[in-house]
Structure formats: structure tokens, C-alpha cells
A and B are shown apart, each in its own frame.
Chain A
């Protein structure tokens, strides 16, 4: 593989043994949670779904890393985990706020998704503004000849010796979709954790739910950020370097990341929920 990421080479298929082991870890995590407190199973499943959504969303985000910073590859000039976490956390901020004011699950998770999508839309726009107005370079993809949405052709616009530059429209749309999905996943995790902590901590501490609300919100927020970073970093290992968006050949690796992140979320979710299980200590 080249220093710029290049073509996805090998390891794209799903490892059946690893998948079975992962499924066993998920089932064991759910089983242990069910034994410790049956009401915690739904939050754990929410965390697993949220983690898988974050992994899925990260693959849409066009990331170019250092090569993008020099106009050697298309994408946003930062790392996968950083950008996805930034977008997802902006969504989490909006989702948590919407849940505080409305208390409605659906509005909150969609509000979180829109927050992530908005952050990515602004960021992607400024990337193109920098390339076009400050560096005088039009957007061109090195992975495909034609933009699947607009029909623009790229090879004649690509500078010699580079793998493309800028942010083609398909990558912009991919970035927004990635922000939407990552924000959605993160907000689901936050609300499920908040639900578990609000009731669990009130029972454990024998206090009113209103009294422990600040503690529950802070804990749920910290763990939601932790889940973001766990899933974004795992997905970044799957991407290895750069990805242009949904049209990139590396996007085909997404099922592997979803399985990996679901397993990691299940185990981390079990750990985070142990906080509110009365295990006789």
C-alpha cells in the first residue's frame, strides 16, 4: 500500500472465526448484563446499535490526513478519528440539549444527527473554499473518473503526481451523511446511558432522580464521549489512512468495522453499566 493509502489491498473479507468470537462476546456481555439487572439489557442493546452506527458513519467521512494538507489526496486534512469524533460530539451536544428541553427520544436522536451533519457541512464547505479560493485548485478525485451525483469528470482536473485534491461533491455528501449517522449513534448511546444512570444511581444512592441528575448527565456524557472515541479509533484502523467517502473502494470494508465496533461497544457497554448494578459490594 502506498503512503497515501492507495487501493484497498487484502483483508477486505470478513473473518468467519473472528466474527463468531465477536458474536459470542456480544452474547456473553448481554447475558451478564441480563443477570445483573434485566432492565439494563435495553440500554446495552442501544449502546451496541449506537456503536455500530458510529462505525458506519465514520466510513462516509472523507479524510485525507497529511496528503490532503498538501493537495496530494482528496479529503479533509485531518485524521479519521479526530474528525468523526468532532462531528459526532457536535451532534451529541445538540442531542443532549434537545433531550433536556423536549424529553422526546426521537426528536433528540434526530436533533443529534442534524447537529453532526451541520458541523460536517460547514467544515466540508470551508475545505472547498480553501482549496478553490486560496490555493486555486479545483476538486478532483483520484479513485473514480466521474462523480456519481453530479456527473463531473475528474482525470483532466487532477494535478500531475497527485492522487487528486479538494473535496468533490460526492465526498461532501458523504461527509454530511457521516456526520448525521455518527451524531445519531452517539446520541442514542448518551440517552440510553442517561436512562440507565438516572434510575440506577437513584436506587443505589437512595436519592431522588432529580437530586442525582447532574451526576447522571455528566457520567452519561463522559461515557458517550468515550464510546465515540473507541468506535472512531477502531473504524480508523479499518480505514488505514485516507478514505474519500462512499465511492472509495475502502468503503467496502464497512461490515468488518460494524462487527468490530459492535463487539467493542458490547464489552465497553457492560463495563459502563456495571456502575449501576448492585453486585453486593
Chain B
């Protein structure tokens, strides 16, 4: 019993850390403009829209975060073998990983933006100097929290995989959850605020991203300020739920019904989420109704 209570406590802590990791990951990728909506940032100068948005996209978020979290967890594991305090080991691992991320950011911004020179897109040194450190700070939070989750899974819940392997797995899952929940909000709701709210972006509007803020030109810091309100928490909830429920169903039900308890709990959870999804879909259709032409609504 005591073991189960401890397990649930660790599970809750892991879920909370994962929620923070998800929120930081999405904000980092939105400020750094990494992930799928970045294609519009890359496309904009080619369509004649010069901008001051950070243009990173070193690779998709999942493999990039898989790498960074694997580095963080790997270095932390090495320090743990030297009998370092776990908290210190995880911090040192995350610092090494975040320097790799910073190098990727710098080379990604310079390389990608330089490739747009023929479309008159300048490389803004002030953007590089001010935003790289901001993305590194957010990445540090995401990597630290994910590595801490992996450490809890390994040391407290006794998962058979080694710490670096867990870092790779949960780094990829973190990136997948963040890009699924956060990317649409950044891509549509932020980059295309010049488009009608409550409708998809027409293909003909590709590349025409919003480039001006309330005062002066918009930079990616404004994007971080905006997406922290919804996309960050949404990604955090997504990743937090994945980590929490995956651990919860195993810790609580693994010994029930000769091992089938965790399987049944998982199936019940899937059915619950299916029901909620259907409810959201029906609510959206009823509340917003069919699509209407912009001319009709503006009159």
C-alpha cells in the first residue's frame, strides 16, 4: 500500500513537471519559430513580406527535443555515476543540452535567413542576440523538467530503460505533443491575425504573415507573449496528461487482474477521451454553425 501511495505521489509530480515542460517547449518553439508553421516564416520574404520573425526550424520539434533531452539525460546519467546529487546532475545535463540547442538556434537562424538574401530579407543581429537567449531559457525549462521526469521514472518507478533512452523517448513524445497542440494556435491564430477569425487560412494567403505589432514591427518575442496564453498551457496539459495517465494506469493497476488491470484502465481512458472529443466536435459544429462567406458577415 505504502509503495502504491509513493508511486502515485511520484506520478503526480512527474505529471506536473511534464505540464511545465510542455508549456515551455511550445513557447520555445513559437519564439524560435520552429515546427510546421515555420514554413510560412520561410515563405514570407519570397512573397515580398520582409519580417523580423526568428527563423529557426533546425528540424521538426520531436527529433530536436529527442536529441536535447537525450543529451540532458545522458550527461545527467554520467554525473549520477560520479555520485553527484541528482538535482545537480540534472541541472548540469540540461545546461549542456541547452548550449547545443543554442548552437542549433544560431546556425539555424543565420543559415535559413541567409538563404533568403536574394529576396532582400536581412539578417537582424539584434534579433539573433536578444531572442536566442530567450529560446535557450525556455528550452532549459523544458529539458530540465523532462529530464527530471525521466529520472523519476528510472530511479523511483524502476522503469527498465536507462536514463538517456528515456530522455530520447520522452523528448520525442514532448515534441509530438507540443507540435500537435501548440502549432495550430501559433500558425493560424498568431501568424494570420489578418485573416477572418473562425475560419481556416485560404491557401492563397500563404506567406502573408502578420508582421507588425501594436507599436512597430513585430518580433518573435511578441509571438511568445501571445502563445504563452493558450498554446503553451494547451501543450502542457497535453504532455502532462500523457505522462501522468501513462504512469498512473501502470502504477495503480499493473498488479490487478494478473497484469490486465493496466490494459483495461488504458482502454477505459481511451474511451473517455473519445467521448470528450466527440462532445467538443459537436459543440463546435452547433455553436459556430456552417461556414459563411466573409462578405455576408461584414455587412
Using CB atoms and an 8 Å cutoff, list the residues of chain A in contact with chain B. Answer: 3-4, 65-72, 76-79, 82-83, 85-87, 89-90, 92-94, 96-102, 104, 107, 110-111, 114-115, 117-119, 121-140, 150, 152, 156-169, 172-173, 176, 214, 217-218, 221-222, 225
Binds A, one of B47-55, B57-65, B102-110, B215-223: B57-65
Q: Which residue of B lies closest to A215 (CB)?
A: B162
Which residues of A have CB within 8 Å of B288? Answer: 136-138
Binds A, one of B112-120, B125-133, B237-245: B237-245
Tell me, rounded to whole Å, the shortest Cβ–Cβ distance linking B65 to chain A: 10
Contact in complex: A69, B37 (CB < 8 Å): yes
The 7 closest A-B pairs by CB, nearest first: A161-B202, A86-B176, A69-B187, A71-B200, A114-B266, A136-B198, A132-B284
Tell me, rounded to whole Å, the shortest Cβ–Cβ distance linking B231 to chain A: 7
Tell me, rounded to whole Å, the shortest Cβ–Cβ distance linking A5 to chain B: 12
Tell me, rounded to whole Å, the shortest Cβ–Cβ distance linking B53 to chain A: 14
Tell me, rounded to whole Å, the shortest Cβ–Cβ distance linking A145 to chain B: 14
Which residues of A have CB within 8 Å of B255? Answer: 101
19 contacts between A and B (CB under 8 A): A67-B203, A69-B187, A79-B60, A83-B180, A86-B177, A89-B169, A90-B246, A93-B159, A93-B169, A107-B260, A114-B266, A122-B242, A130-B184, A132-B283, A137-B288, A158-B291, A169-B277, A169-B278, A172-B277
Contact in complex: A100, B36 (CB < 8 Å): no
Q: Which of A70, A111, A176, A221 is in CB contact (< 8 Å) with B263?
A: A111
Contact in complex: A78, B184 (CB < 8 Å): no
Contact in complex: A130, B176 (CB < 8 Å): no
Tell me, rounded to whole Å, the shortest Cβ–Cβ distance linking B46 to chain A: 13
Q: Which residue of B lies closest to A115 (CB)?
A: B246
Contact in complex: B231, A130 (CB < 8 Å): yes
Contact with A along B149-186 (1 / 0, CB 8 A): 00000000011111001101110110111011111111
Given contacts A83-B176, A169-B277, 17 further A-B contacts (CB under 8 A): A3-B203, A66-B38, A68-B183, A72-B202, A78-B35, A78-B176, A82-B60, A102-B259, A104-B259, A122-B241, A122-B245, A123-B181, A127-B181, A130-B231, A157-B285, A162-B203, A218-B162
Binds A, one of B80-88, B89-97, B136-144, B188-196: B188-196
Tell me, rounded to whole Å, the shortest Cβ–Cβ distance linking B249 to chain A: 8
Contact in complex: A134, B37 (CB < 8 Å): no
Contact in complex: A121, B274 (CB < 8 Å): yes
* B212 at interface by CB-CB < 8 Å: no
Q: Which of B173, B258, B291 is in CB contact (< 8 Å) with A90?
A: B173
For the complex, give the distance between the alpha carbons of A96 and B192 in Å: 43
Contact in complex: B179, A222 (CB < 8 Å): no
Contact in complex: B238, A162 (CB < 8 Å): no
For the complex, give the distance between the alpha carbons of A185 and B62 in Å: 20
For the complex, give the distance between the alpha carbons of A183 and B26 in Å: 25
Tell me, rounded to whole Å, the shortest Cβ–Cβ distance linking B170 to chain A: 8
Known: A78-B180, A82-B175, A125-B280. A69 touches B270 (CB 8 A): no
Which residues of B have CB within 8 Å of A97? Answer: 159-160, 250, 254
For B, the interface residue count at a CB cutoff of 8 angstroms equals 86
For the complex, give the distance between the alpha carbons of A152 and B284 in Å: 12
Known: A98-B250, A102-B259. A86 touches B173 (CB 8 A): yes
* B199 at interface by CB-CB < 8 Å: yes
Which residues of B have CB within 8 Å of A222? Answer: 165
Known: A78-B176, A82-B179, A131-B284. A69 touches B184 (CB 8 A): yes
Contact in complex: B173, A119 (CB < 8 Å): yes
Which residues of B have CB within 8 Å of A139? Answer: 281, 284-285
* B269 at interface by CB-CB < 8 Å: yes
Which residues of A have CB within 8 Å of B121? Answer: none
Tell me, rounded to whole Å, the shortest Cβ–Cβ distance linking B56 to chain A: 15
Contact in complex: A132, B280 (CB < 8 Å): yes
Q: Which of B38, B177, B230, B293 is in CB contact (< 8 Å) with A134?
A: B230
Which residues of B have CB within 8 Å of A4? Answer: 203
Q: Which of A70, A128, A157, A169 is in CB contact (< 8 Å) with B192?
A: A70
* B273 at interface by CB-CB < 8 Å: yes
* B234 at interface by CB-CB < 8 Å: yes
Which residues of A have CB within 8 Å of B204? Answer: 161
Which residues of A have CB within 8 Å of B258? Answer: 102, 107
Tell me, rounded to whole Å, the shortest Cβ–Cβ distance linking A259 to chain B: 26
Contact in complex: A92, B263 (CB < 8 Å): no
Which residues of A have CB within 8 Å of B173? Answer: 86, 89-90, 119
For the complex, give the distance between the alpha carbons of A46 and B204 in Å: 48
Tell me, rounded to whole Å, the shortest Cβ–Cβ distance linking B52 to chain A: 20
For the complex, give the distance between the alpha carbons of A217 and B162 in Å: 8
Q: Which of B60, B184, B189, B262 is in CB contact (< 8 Å) with A68?
A: B184
